[in-house]
Each structure stands twice: as C-alpha cells, then as structure tokens.
Amino acid sequence: MESPKALRSAYLKYKLNEDIPLYNGEAEVFLQENKVRLKITVILQWLPAPSVRFKGTIISSVTSLFNASSELLGKKQKIIFPDGTKHDTYIQDVIFGSENTFEGTIEGYSTNRHANVNSISFSVINFLNCLGRYVESDTRTYSGRLIFHYNQWQITLDKRSDYDQKPERIMKQLKDRSGYLITHIGRIERIDGGDFNTNEIRHLINSISWLLSFASGRHVGVSLLEGQYNGEMVWFDNTVPIISPWKNNITWFPKQKAEVIEDLFPVIATRFENEYLAKILRESLSWYVECHSNSIIETKIVSAQTALEMLSWDYLVNQSNQLSKTQFKKKKTSENIRILLQDFQIDTAYLHIPEFQQLEFDDAVHLLIETRNDVVHPIAKQEFNGFQKYMILQIGLHYLELVLLGILEYDKHYHNRLKQPIWEENYDIVPWAKKR
C-alpha cells in the first residue's frame, strides 16, 4: 500500500538560523507628515530573536527628514505596500549618505483583509523529531505525519523529509547548535473539502501551537501561513509568535508513539473556544514552559507549584464542584493539591526516590510545598543538595504534566520522568487509565 505524499514547501530550502526573505520591492512609509517611497526588503530574521525586519532605501527626495531623524528612532510609523497592505513599523536606524536608508521592525507582514480559501499551509518552527504515520517524499518513505481532527477541520502535520539526511543532518544541527529551523509543514482544510474564510482559523493555530509547546516543554511557533484558493495564493500571514530557541527537554511526550498526541488536539481546540478555559490552559502551559527554561531551579520549582495551585482551584471549584470557594480557601495549599492528585489517582509517595529516603515529610506534595515555601520565605530548615532540588523539580513537573493530561482527557502512554535514569521508549500508561 502506497503512503500519502509528504507536504511540500519552498521555505524548506532555508537552513538553520537562515533569514527568510518575505518581500522585495517598493513601499511607502509615513514619517511624521512626509510620505516617503522606498526600495525595501522584508525578511523573517531568526537571530538574535525571531522578528520581521525591513531595510529600505529612499527613492524619493525628502531633504527635511535629515533634521528629524533623531525623532523618528523608536517611534511607531506606518508602512504601506503596493497591494494596499498596511503595517506598523518601528524605525531603529536612519543612515544618510550617498543612499538614505531606514532599518527597523514590522509588526508582522500579512494580508490586511481575510479571504475565502480551500486550504491554508503553514510552517512549524522547532518542533520535535518524533515518529508518526508514514509519508512519501521524492526520495524516501519515512514516519513523520500527524493528523488532527476537530469538528469540520482536518490539520495535517508532516516532518520535513530531510530531517536526518547526510551531509547536513539538519535536525541534528538544530540539536547541537540550538537556534531556529522549520521542522514541520502543515495544512488546514475542511474535511468535506469545502471553502472557508481565513478569519475562522486563528483559534486552530493557537491550539496547534500550544499543543506542540506542551509536547516540547518550550514555545513552538506556527508562522508563514499561506491561504490558497484553487491553487492560487490569495492570503498570507507572516506574524511571528513567541518561539523558544531549540532545547531538548525531557517531557511527558512519548516521541516513539507520537500519534497519541492526536487525541489531545480536539480537547485543546474545544477549550480555546471558551475564553475562561483558554485563559487557564494558556497560563498553565506558560508555567510549564517556564519550568523548562534556563532560570534557576528554585524559580522553576515555584513555577510548577503556581501552576498546580491554579489548576487545583479551577478543577476543584469550577469544573468538578467538589469544593466551594470558601472550603478551598480554608484548606492548606498542600491539601488542595493532594485532593487534585488523588482525583487522577496520581501517586504522592516519595520514598521510592533514593535521594529522599532519609527525609521526614508527609508525602511528595508536602516536600514540594515546603521547598517552595523555603524559596519564597527563606528560613533555616531542611537544606537540599543540587540533585535533591533537581528531583523536587521533577516531582513538580511530573504532577503538573499528569494533571494537565488528566484535565485534557488523555488516556494513553506518557514518559514518566520519575523513572531514573530516563530513556526513550520507557513509557507508562497514565494512572487513571490503568485502573479503569
């Protein structure tokens, strides 16, 4: 049986951290009350941080700008492209000489008006090298496709076919050098093949980005959107979202069984349709990403507990109605988190972790809370060494991952970070699924 064809994109020719040109031509900029015509180049620049930048040479004579140049720097101006597209821009450098030039950033580079399309293609920056369904490129068949469904929508996501090909081994470069790379190509379409308007897909893009970020433990970006109608591009959106530089984090995501992530998408997309639930999910996942950042370990332990406190309030008071607001506030933080964990049948013992066998705490929740309290309100109590702090963070992350998976109704494999040493393919089934 033949495998489906892998998605293609002209953007895949750009290598690790290589700038991507978006526009080369003329544009007009309003500088104070002056309308200036420029020969302009717009690029998606990765380093030092992802942004849309422009460089323009003045091709109309405006001598009065020379004295005003210092007032233009850092001020919001308006840039207009020949197709009528308008964007805010910030001038960061003005150079007067044989050629008068401006450089700066643009708040995205996108079509101002929405359009009817048959499909939308997009690029994913810095997702993981994981297995999936088989697809076929011009040169090989490989495991790299994920398919998400939600209501009338189908989203296809393909890993780039050259991810491990010699001599570049491009995703190994990403792992070794960090930075930014388009790792996957995606497509959004209706299941029935019908037309749709581009104003319908923003929450789908948010859902994809946050799902992939949850799997990766860092912000994964979705950008370079192009809407096609009968094969012709009629709409584009090159807004640059928050994207973390590459880091190979340990997370719950079982990369050898990547298709399990498909079950999470419709639940996340449903939550993003509700303003309150979307807020809780965004904030929880932001704390989760912070726990994998380069900040000091004490800060990350506090982040893990903060997320658990927020989720315990939402789940126990608002979702399951187990506790009233008054009951919740009267209980200790450790009690509320413990009830939350028990609801999802998550083990709170810690004596199976060798580094903690000599300690005297009620359970791992007590250990986590006391560690957090000692960070926020330092007093001379139990002193932990570096590896003990590392394991306390792993406990907090383990709880946070499982609670999020439970709330998102996930019932399959996950990577248990408390099983040391950690290696891929050593997966568990989530505890609430085991005991059904």
pLDDT band at 222; cut points 50, 70, 90? very high
Residue with tokens 């999020």: 404
- Count up the domains in the chain and report the number: 3
pLDDT, residue 371, reads 84
Structure tokens at 412: 């399959």
Domain boundary among 80, 106, 132: 106
- Residue 309 belongs to what domain range? 274-434
The mean pLDDT of 414-426, rounded to a whole number, is: 84
Task: Considering only residues 314 and 108, tell me which one the structure prediction assigns the higher pLDDT.
Answer: 314
Please answer whether residues 340 and 312 qualify as being in contact, where contact means their C-beta atoms are separated by less than 8 angstroms.
yes
In a domain, 11, yes or no: no
Peptide bond into 82 cis (omega under 30): no
Q: Give percent of the chain above pLDDT 70.
A: 92
User: What count of Cα atoms within 13 Å lies in the side-chain half-sphere of residue 187?
Assistant: 17
Give residue-wise pLDDT tens across range 80-127.
999 888 898 888 887 776 777 888 999 889 998 999 999 999 999 999
Residue 310 and residue 245 share a domain: no
For the CA atoms of 196, 202, 204, 205, the dihedral, rounded to the nearest 10 degrees, stands at 120
Q: Of the given ranges (99-103, 269-273, 381-385), which has the lowest mean pLDDT?
A: 381-385
In a domain, 378, yes or no: yes
In a domain, 310, yes or no: yes
* pTM (2 d.p.): 0.92
Long-range Cβ contact pairs of 311-319 (< 8 A, separation 24 or more): 311/280, 311/284, 311/340, 311/400, 311/403, 311/404, 311/407, 312/336, 312/337, 312/339, 312/340, 314/280, 315/340, 315/343, 315/403, 315/407, 316/340, 319/407
In a domain, 370, yes or no: yes
Q: Which of 364, 372, 369 is nearest to 347 (CA)?
A: 364
Residue 423 and residue 278 share a domain: yes
Q: Of the given ranges (98-102, 169-173, 302-306, 399-403), which has the lowest mean pLDDT?
A: 98-102
Residue 63 and residue 40 share a domain: yes
In a domain, 8, yes or no: no
Residue 387 and residue 297 share a domain: yes
Give residue-wise pLDDT tens across range 328-366.
999 999 999 999 999 999 998 876 777 777 777 888 898
In a domain, 1, yes or no: no
- CA–CA separation, 16 vs 13, rounded Å? 10
Please answer whether residues 312 and 320 qualify as being in contact, where contact means their C-beta atoms are separated by less than 8 angstroms.
no
pLDDT, residue 378, reads 59
pLDDT band at 287; cut points 50, 70, 90? very high
Residue 253 and residue 325 share a domain: no
- The answer on pLDDT for 33 being more than 70 is no
pLDDT, residue 128, reads 95
Residue 221 and residue 318 share a domain: no
> What amino acid occupies position 79?
I
In a domain, 13, yes or no: no
pLDDT, residue 237, reads 95
Residue 122 and residue 187 share a domain: yes
- CA–CA separation, 323 vs 316, rounded Å? 6
Residue 304 and residue 259 share a domain: no
Domain boundary among 263, 288, 323: 263
- The answer on pLDDT for 199 being more than 60 is yes
Residue 302 and residue 253 share a domain: no
Domain boundary among 106, 124, 146: 106
- CA–CA separation, 422 vs 417, rounded Å? 7
The mean pLDDT of 378-390, rounded to a whole number, is: 73
The mean pLDDT of 261-274, rounded to a whole number, is: 96
Residue 206 and residue 118 share a domain: yes
- The answer on pLDDT for 26 being more than 90 is yes
Residue 238 and residue 170 share a domain: yes
Q: What average pLDDT does the structure give for the chain?
A: 89
Residue 86 and residue 47 share a domain: yes
Task: Considering only residues 112 and 417, tell me which one the structure prediction assigns the higher pLDDT.
Answer: 417
In a domain, 139, yes or no: yes
